[in-house]
Structure 1
Amino acid sequence: MDTFILGIDQSTAGTKALIVDRCGQIVAKSDAVHKQIYPKPGWVEHDPLEIYENVKRTVREALTLAGITPARLAALSITNQRETAVMWDRTTGRPVCHAIVWQCQRTADLCADYKAAGHEQAVRSKTGLMLDPYFSATKWGWMLEHVENAKPLLQEGKLLAGTIDSWLVWKLTGGRVHATDYTNASRTSLFNIHTLGWDNELCQLFGVPRELLPEIKSSDEVFGLTEDPDLFPEKVPVSGVIGDSQAALFGQLCLEPGMAKATYGTGTSVLLNIGDKPAVSENGLVAAVAWGRGGRVTYALEAIIRCSGDSIKWVRDNLGLFGSFDELDAMLRQTPDNEGVYLVPAFVGLGAPYWDPYARAAITGMNRATGKAHIVRAAVESIAYQVRDAAEMMERETGVRLKQLHADGGASANPVLMQFQADMLNLPVVKSEIAELSAMGSVYMAGLGVGYWPSLDEIEQLSKQVQLYEPMMEAAERERLYTGWKQAVASILSDKINRDLI
């Protein structure tokens, strides 16, 4: 009897469940969105219980659509939004508060205090990360200080902390397994990329007791078995646990140093495989574990772009400038020039290479002739400009010119954006036709972990359709547009960042 792998993709916007066969084909999928909670300006939260309910719902729907029972699942994989922080009561399984999302800026002042106290270099040298509210440590520290029942639960030994992957593993295994993988651990500011473990000094600095944190495993390990008899009457191995951006890097088969990809989601992650040795950037990039597999760890450099697809959502939902994506495509094709209009989407500050949590969004260059199509185009173009910022930093850091950029994620479905991206980079952009590439990366990892696919060679032989975008823009036009972008960014930066990175 044929068996399948169930892939769970828990992203910032929602949850997907995919059923994948041995040929690497998606035979069924289901998705559900969850609420975005904004209790104060700059704060972003999710409800972990709503997320888990959506996991159960999408799994049931995907199994039904595929016409199979859990008995035919060889493994369950998890890929997830990273850095988003959860704390919960291990005795009740209930979170102590909403999850604090990676976008949330509530700890910006706390991070500034840590910098003023001289801790930035120590944090960066151990973790490869900036001292920034983006990462998990200050979020957990905030919960312990501000959530009413967090400290009492800590004193009673009932409190656990983790990222979304840990939360889902714990729930799916019936509270028997509290674990994360190297990729997610490396996004917390508590993980030492050199020793590959939780760092006691960092835990003490951020006020997060080590005993709250999950065990760290390789992405391809079997984390445990499902223990939810209603959802899985037959137990299923949980493997292939990996953060979403790293999962996309693996799904793109960027397996050699020097290969890079961009995942265009709510934000955009540009990841560069750098091999088996970590690197700490001084140019606005962050270090990451790309994956742990077969007892070995692969590292990456990453540029984190806080807002990309979210800026398109903003001009649609908040400004009402277009309705459907067909309308968006038509507007972009009918307005081939931005006419000097730029949108800098610093709705929750700016990420790489500026790392300015105090920057705020702006639309610049408007005049009396500016119409809604120019603003929409500016929102789309802002994504490509930010990816060029990232690519230039990567080339400066490594001294190696990128040969091409692999692309995936929701916004990569827009052909105008992909062509503009190739033009801005003056590089070929290889866009995967698999929309669910993060999920597929985790599925591949799980399949290797449980022996569903015997080797990477077999995965490389699976059919993968791509679309190639070649640069077409004249150099003078490319540089004119990009110079305008840099000027727009400079106009909105706060006075608290290093302007040498502009």
Structure 2
Amino acid sequence: MGAKLRYIISVDIGTTTMKSCVYNENCDLQDTFETNMHLIYVENEDRSISVEMDPERVWDDFLDIVKKAVNAVGGHEFGIALCTQRNTFITWNKDSLVPCHNLITWKDGRANRICEEWNQSFILKAIRTSGWLGSKLSGSGRFKAAGGFRFLNAMVSHRFLVLLKTEEEMNKLLDADRLAMGTLDTWLMSRLSKGQSHVTDASCASSTGLYDPFINDWGRLLLKIIGFPLKVLPTLENTAEKPLCMIATDVLGKSCQVWSSIGDAQSAILGSGVVDKEYVKVSLGTGTFVNILTDKPHPTFNGVYPLIAWKIGDNIKYTTEARSNDTATCIRWAHTFGLYNELSELDDLNENDKGHGLHFVPAFSGIQTPVDDGRAVCSLLGIKPNTTKSQMLRAVIDSISFRVKHIWDTMLKEVKAIKPTAFRVCGGVAKNAVVCQQIADLVQVKVERVSEPEFASAKGAALLAGITAGMWTLKECDEYVSVEETFFPSPNPELFYQYEQWLKAISRCLNFYENDAFQNSDS
């Protein structure tokens, strides 16, 4: 579908910040507007931590930065592109669009206990056994994935079901067929269209745990088993190819459309110029996300999982993903703890602070890939009477690159025959040269930091909108991404020794808490 767009306004809604970015017809960044996100932390009776956002504040902030971008493009034609934090969801009245509760973020811990109960249940054990047997008999990847399936709190399903037990308004609307549910992208498009759109794209849907990437549809059978009401689910649409919704004229003061919508981690893949298996994408932002592209969903375990990268027409690109949740939290904690005053200090780490036997375990919300241990404890091991703040800071920064190595080694075991020519890194933390060089040394593959790394997700969504508008093709997208700096691997036996010692520290910190209730808080 073609359209004469002069500008694309790409809105990147993360967990830390929300940005609107103006791109021209060459996908060059022209202007940006930014605001901070505000999380609400509530301790529940079981001592789990709920992490929410005020939907009206998010909506007001969204309109504010988008309208600033609209003013910046003047009277020229523009389209909207969305990339959003995944697995943050909300329910609302279909008719009035009034929310039933706050936005429930992906960091929310209220469903930890029920997920544990389900994972130990006879039903899920039977599903895993059937999947294992089915994979042996048929070789089916879908059966193999079922053989290792576990419910995770990050999935939308059980956080929704916990709310359904306590929110009276949700139940009333559900009984009257007036309850709508969606992740952040779905809710925003519903508001933008004045209730005319109730849609999501395959990338966001595949991240929720409600979607089966092996059949490219909602996982209806499993959802029925756990009692999830299918009628609240949005309609599945392509990531790009045609506009996802028409924005009501009085919302932004002009008639326009959402030309693409995608999950932020998947958007960063394209925004880093990764369009084939030649590269590995590493996002270093709120969390660390490592992605490789595949032609089909790959059944994996140990915290590695298959997702839809994007769906354009009949063309589906899959990604295998692994993650660590606490990258930005670790850096904020180091600041709160007084280890540094200005972010610029992180670029000038003292070489003499290496190898002092300090090991930071970044487990504020547990350890995700490869152990998926929500009971792991965050810790700093190896403190001595003469330990300095700069040494402690170095240990925190080292843990970021160590987690990338930790994740990558797992992916190598899970997905055979991966031979990338480079790692493409993006996200705000990627601006740190020490982290980039350490990743290169640890994985022994060159690391390429993309230009404007903190805007990679926004650029990916803009590129997809341009595909919808006929401004370029998917194959041409890498031509619009440049590399700012390349870090070449070098032999570093001392770093590998530190990494091996750090792995020992990780093993000491697993399964520390009695349950996951103490996790998921970075307040």
Residue 107 (structure 1) aligned to one of 96, 111, 125: 111
Deviations along 1:87-141, one digit per CA (max 9) or x if unpaired, are 1222332322222211222211111111111426369836996421011111111
2:357 is the alignment partner of 1:350:
no
The TM-score, its normalising length taken from structure 2, stands at 0.88
Per mean C-alpha deviation after superposition, the further-off stretch among 102-111 and 404-413 is 102-111
What is the TM-score when the length of structure 1 is the normalising length? 0.92
Q: Of the candidates 138, 153, 168, which is equivalent to residue 188 of structure 2? A: 168
Q: Is the 8 A contact 2:145 2:300 kept in 1?
A: no
1:467 equivalenced with 2:472 (yes/no): no
User: How far is 1:338 from its partner?
Assistant: 4.7
Identity %: 25
Match of 1:145 in 2: 165
* 1:184-229 alpha-carbon deviations (Å, 9 max, x no partner): 1111111111221112222223332111111111100311211151
Q: Does 1:68 align with 2:74?
A: yes
Rate the CA distance shift 1:205–1:357 in 2: closer, same or farther, 3 A: farther
Counterpart residue number, 1:292 = 311
1:323 aligns with 2:330: no
2:60 to 45, 53, 57: 53
In structure 2, what is the Cα distance between the partners aligned to 1:16 and 1:423?
33
Deviation of 1:404 after TM superposition, in Å, equals 2.0
Alignment coverage as a number of residue pairs:
488
Quick check: 1:266 aligned with 2:286? Answer: yes
- Aligned partner of 2:407 among 390, 398, 402: 390
Alignment correspondent of 1:189? 209
Residue 504 of structure 2 corresponds to: 487
> Unmatched 5+ residue regions in structure 2?
132-141, 515-523
Task: State the one-letter code of the partner of 1:225.
Answer: M
The structural deviation recorded for 1:292 is 0.5
Alignment match, 2:386: 369
CA contact under 8 A between 2:302 and 2:371: conserved in structure 1?
no
State how far apart, in whole Å, the 2-side matches of 1:382 and 1:205 are: 40
Residue identity opposite 1:447 in structure 2? G
- In structure 2, the partner of 1:306 is 325
Amino acid at match of 2:93: D
Aligned pair 1:341/2:379, yes or no? no
Quote the residue 1:5 is aligned against: 8
1:42 shift after superposition: 3.6
Q: How far, CA to CA, are the matches of 2:84 and 2:292 in structure 1? A: 19
**Structure 1 residue 414 and structure 2 residue 432: aligned?**
yes
Contact 1:15 1:51 in 2 (8 A): no
Q: Is the 8 A contact 1:105 1:357 kept in 2?
A: no
**Is the 8 Å Cα contact of residues 302 and 372 (structure 2) preserved in structure 1?**
no
Aligned to 1:438: 457
Per the alignment, residue 442 of structure 2 pairs with 424
Counterpart check, 1:132 vs 2:152: yes
Tell me which residue corresponds to 1:200: 220
Q: Secondary structure at the match of 2:350?
A: helix
| Whole-angstrom CA distance in 1 between matches of 2:148 and 2:98 | 32
Tell me how large the CA RMSD over aligned residues is.
Answer: 2.2
Bigger relative CO (Cα 8 Å, ≥ 6 apart): 2
Give the ranges of 4+ consecutive aligned residues of structure 1 lying more than 4 Å apart after TM superposition.
126-130
Distance 1:215 1:373, change over 3 A: same
1:240–1:72 CA distance, 2 compared to 1 (3 A):
same
Separation of aligned partners in 1, 2:262 and 2:398: 30
Cα shift readout 1:229-251 (whole Å, capped 9, x = no counterpart):
141x3211212100011111112
Unaligned ranges ≥5, structure 1 = 498-502
Corresponding letter in the other structure for 1:306: N
